[in-house]
Structure 1
Amino acid sequence: STTKPAGGRVLQLIGSSSGEGVSSLALDIAAIAASHEARKVLLIDVEPQLNEGAASALAHRGHTVAGVGAEGRTFQIDQSSLYVSAPIGAGGMLVSEDRWGQVIDNARANFDLVLIDSPPLQRSSAGIELAGLADMSLMVVEAEVTRASVALRLIERTEAAGGEIIGAILNKRVFHIPRFIYSRL
């Protein structure tokens, strides 16, 4: 994958339908990235469902969430190198389409890795609008639920917007054969 040469890298996670696990995976990837080599990581929470963003979810799990900066739109998690944005979009901080580039460029300048937790295409076109601003996108598909034609449509729309899907995460795989049988095969 080709990436922009200056500043931090921007990775977008996007899915086609609600419930595929994009937000959980984005939070996991952000936590892992922040724990390695003390990279400064920002998770941008775009249009979270029910307007409960990642910062609120982390606070409910017992993590220390502290606001940083004068605007109070970014939160540091457990005094680590992991930061989470306030919910952007529906019910949160509204950003017009023409300002998204500025938001991403500011994040790129201040963080080593910027992860975008995009809403599903089924619910919002914000993820497609952001695809062209990310260096790369990962598509999340739910095992045995997401149809191939729906995934292909998401790839086509992302590429038409100037984005690049570099891979897919198959999430929520179900093992129909018990694991102990797999070990004997």
Structure 2
Amino acid sequence: MSRIYDALENRDMDAKQAKTLERILPQVETTADDGCEMESEMNTLYQTITAALPDRQHHSVLFVGARQKEGTSTITRELARTVASRLGKRVLLIDCDGNCDEFAYQAVDPSVKLEDILENNTTVDKVVCPVNGSNLSILPFFMWADSPGVRTSYNENGHAFWNALNERFDLVIVDYPQEMLTNGPVMTSKVDGVIIVVEAEKTRWQVASSLKDKIVKNGGNVLGVVFNKRRHYIPQFIYDRL
């Protein structure tokens, strides 16, 4: 089945008046069963991200779906895989949703407590899991996402934690469930940018716009929108409503 990913860069939205999208970034087209096409388009998406954040040597980007099952995990996994394997970058995929079981890596010791690392500012090595034979690592954040202790420690000490990750990796990608915006550690303000994943032709623009407002309210920098599973072009007037 063909899927099309469009990356859109937004200008800031005034609190009282919605602005139109500033410009449409390069369109990304791929076919699910064609690995070469997937890699090519993930490379384009990566170049788009780095172009949107020109002043940073290391990049951290959070992907969140406007609704459940928008394909966020598929995009984050493929982007992480491509940037690590084809571009030779050191990539960390922070899995907040438990969807990275296709990668082969040694699991974190169950006795390790993320809140201890956050509170004591100790090495992140205990929670970062290198994927066998690659430049990709996984941080299985979902293991601690429901812990009140982690939520408190992260909100208080998350800045130092992110500094350590950004120093170690060229690209940090976060696969972030939407419900964590209200029920879990808020990462939107800690990353360089946020990309909203929308299922084309099914997700209403009001839903995406509401999510964008919530992210901005939480201190996030919305880079744009990725349209997933797109079959036809969406008229410009719909873009203008975001």
Match in the other structure for 2:113: none
What aligned pairs does 1:12-161 form with structure 2 within 5 A after superposition?
Answer: 12-46=62-96, 48=97, 52-54=98-100, 57-58=101-102, 63-66=103-106, 72-88=126-142, 89-90=145-146, 94-96=150-152, 97-120=155-178, 123-125=179-181, 129-161=186-218
Match in the other structure for 1:178: none
State how far apart, in whole Å, the 1-side matches of 2:69 and 2:231 are: 15
Deviation, 1:43, is 0.4
TM-score (norm 2): 0.58
Q: Which amino acid aligns with 1:25?
A: I
TM-score (norm 1): 0.75
Conserved 8 A contact 2:73-2:99: no
Counterpart of 2:186 in 1: which secondary structure? helix
**Cα–Cα, structure 1 residues 70 and 40, in superposed 2: closer, same or farther, change >3 Å?**
closer
1:9 aligns with 2:59: yes
What aligned pairs does 1:144-183 form with structure 2 within 5 A after superposition?
Answer: 144-174=201-231
Structure 1, 29-38 or 63-72: larger mean CA deviation: 63-72
Gap runs ≥5 in structure 1: 176-185
State how far apart, in whole Å, the 2-side matches of 1:42 and 1:136 are: 15
Aligned residues: 161
Deviation, 1:70, is 8.2
Over aligned residue pairs, what C-alpha RMSD do you find?
2.7
Gap runs ≥5 in structure 2: 1-51, 109-122, 233-242
Q: Which amino acid aligns with 1:77?
A: V
Conserved 8 A contact 2:124-2:164: no
Deviation, 1:139, is 0.8
**Cα–Cα, structure 1 residues 157 and 146, in superposed 2: closer, same or farther, change >3 Å?**
same
Counterpart of 2:76 in 1: which secondary structure? helix
Q: Which amino acid aligns with 2:64?
A: I
Alignment deviations for residues 3-59 of structure 1 (CA, whole Å, 9 cap, x no partner): 664x6210111122211111111111101110233111000112x1xxx341xx11x
What is the identity percentage for the equivalent residue pairs of Structure 1 and Structure 2? 24
Q: Which amino acid aligns with 1:65?
A: Y
State how far apart, in whole Å, the 1-side matches of 2:124 and 2:160 are: 18
**Cα–Cα, structure 1 residues 101 and 4, in superposed 2: closer, same or farther, change >3 Å?**
farther
State how far apart, in whole Å, the 2-side matches of 1:111 and 1:64 are: 19
**Cα–Cα, structure 1 residues 80 and 146, in superposed 2: closer, same or farther, change >3 Å?**
same
**Cα–Cα, structure 1 residues 67 and 170, in superposed 2: closer, same or farther, change >3 Å?**
same
Counterpart of 2:64 in 1: which secondary structure? strand
